[in-house]
Amino acid sequence: MFEILLNLFDTNYISIMLLMIISVLVAFNKSERPEGTEWIVLILGLFGILIILNCVYDYAEEMISKGNLSSPDLNAIRKFIYFRAFMEHIIYCLIPFLEVMLIIGEGVKRKLLISIPAVLEFILECLSMLGIPVVFGYHSNARWFSGPLSFFPYATSYFYLIILLMYASQLLYVQKNMRTGSIILCISLVTILTGILEFENVITGFMDEIVLIDILIYYEFFFSLYREKIKTQLMEKELEMEQERTALLLAQIRPHFIYNCLSVIRYLCREDSEEAVETIDHFAGYLRRSMEMMTNNACVPFSMEMKLVDDYLYMEKKRFGDKIIITKDIETEDFMIPPLTLQPIVENAIKHGLRQTRRVGDLKITIKRASEKIRIFVEDNGAGFDVSQLKENKERKHIGIDNVRNRLEAMVEGKLTIESEVGKGTKVMIEV
């Protein structure tokens, strides 16, 4: 047994080292999975099996050459070498086939057409393994012989390699993508050249190493593309959030609200100067905190957000008096939240919910700690609306809702859900 393991390591040293390197890379990058990683893991597993089969095959060849095998032992060896030949042909075809499948991307019809040679190859190899020597076979003494379609595995592999060459040429000369085109071109040419030299017996024993090097280059190449894709997505997300911030800024500048607040203050200046001063303090606090929030790119303490909401609600109570009843059930304020998360929701509840009905409006703000999550509920008994039409409605009044949802997801992996019924009211839940 030790002799077999030593022979395995001795004859497949480079293949084993490459297999270990790629496996370590895939393992360390398990949290970031570029496209096709699962197929690379499958191929690595199959390649590990193939290396073991090759070692056992060498041992079987040695046993056959000694000529002291019984018929049952010889029959068992024949079954083994059939399976080993099947695995070898399938793996060499599978690698360029998968690369082509990943490169062509979407397109079911194209994928089906390109899959035809691989499917035929699999069928022919299965027939050969079952003893019908269409591609390969073995004599009664376990000696290999080629079948009438022995060229098919090479033709299939070269078919996919030629597609890769055509794709590389398109990248180089049409799209002017020198980096991607050069890498795919090198992988294809080196593999084709090695295959030809092995077939002509000019060199032998290098195909496994070349294929593993191709997998290593392919994985690192697509991993770098994956990183660039993620970086681009992050930049686009930041740009989108900046645009949403601008939209929110424009939405917060509401001349009617400011005018109404100033009208209330003007009235109080005549009727109750002390109350007018207090109202001015709340109005100034609302404006100052709004500007601070809109220029803040990071999360803020919830207590700061709540002060903004309190200032806003104070001004609305001054306008509508007993027509709005506000209740709060706040279990905790010890957490962080994206700026301008709660205030737009409360404002929507009053402006588009309570003020659209003639009955007394009830607004309730509840904050509960649920395990490791914080849940904020804003409930009203206002006009309500059809939630299914929310995504289709691109009116200005929904800028705040979309903005809050997007920033919650991007900044704290939070979520916003809305339940509403026309004529009965709305319930919004924010989870952070």
Q: How far apart are CA 41 and CA 234, in angstroms?
A: 27
Write down the domain spans for the chain: 2-236, 253-431
Closest Cα to residue 167, out of 94, 95, 102, 116? 102
253-431 shares the fold of 2-236? no
Per the listing, tokens 């071109």 go with 185
User: What is the chain's length?
Assistant: 432
* Amino acid 200: pLDDT: 72
* Amino acid 396: pLDDT: 46
* Amino acid 343: pLDDT: 87
In 105-151, alpha helices (H):
108-129
- Residue 263's Cβ-count burial label (10 Å; 0-12, 13-18, 19+) is exposed
Tell me which CATH code domain 2-236 carries: 1.20.1070
- Residue 109's Cβ-count burial label (10 Å; 0-12, 13-18, 19+) is exposed
Let me know: does 328 contact 368? Beta carbons within 8 Å.
no
Q: What is the dihedral of CA 212, 214, 216, 217, to 10 degrees?
A: 170
Let me know: does 245 contact 294? Beta carbons within 8 Å.
yes
Closest Cα to residue 420, out of 386, 375, 388, 378? 386
Give the CA distances from residue 405 to residues 68, 84, 189, 359, in Å, rounded to whole numbers and listed in that order. 76, 55, 50, 30
* Amino acid 429: pLDDT: 92
Whole-prediction pTM value? 0.50
What are phi and psi for residue 409, nearest 5 degrees? -65, -40
As a whole number of Å, the CA-based R_g of the chain is: 35
* Amino acid 293: pLDDT: 78
Work out whether the CA dihedral 382, 385, 387, 392 comes out positive or negative: negative
Let me know: does 149 contact 156? Beta carbons within 8 Å.
no
Residues 6+ apart with CB under 8 A from 323: 354, 360, 361
**For the domain with range 253-431, which CATH number is right: 3.20.20.70, 3.40.50.300, 3.30.565.10, 3.40.50.2020?**
3.30.565.10
Listed as ranges, residues in the chain with pLDDT below 50 are 394-397
Let me know: does 161 contact 167? Beta carbons within 8 Å.
no
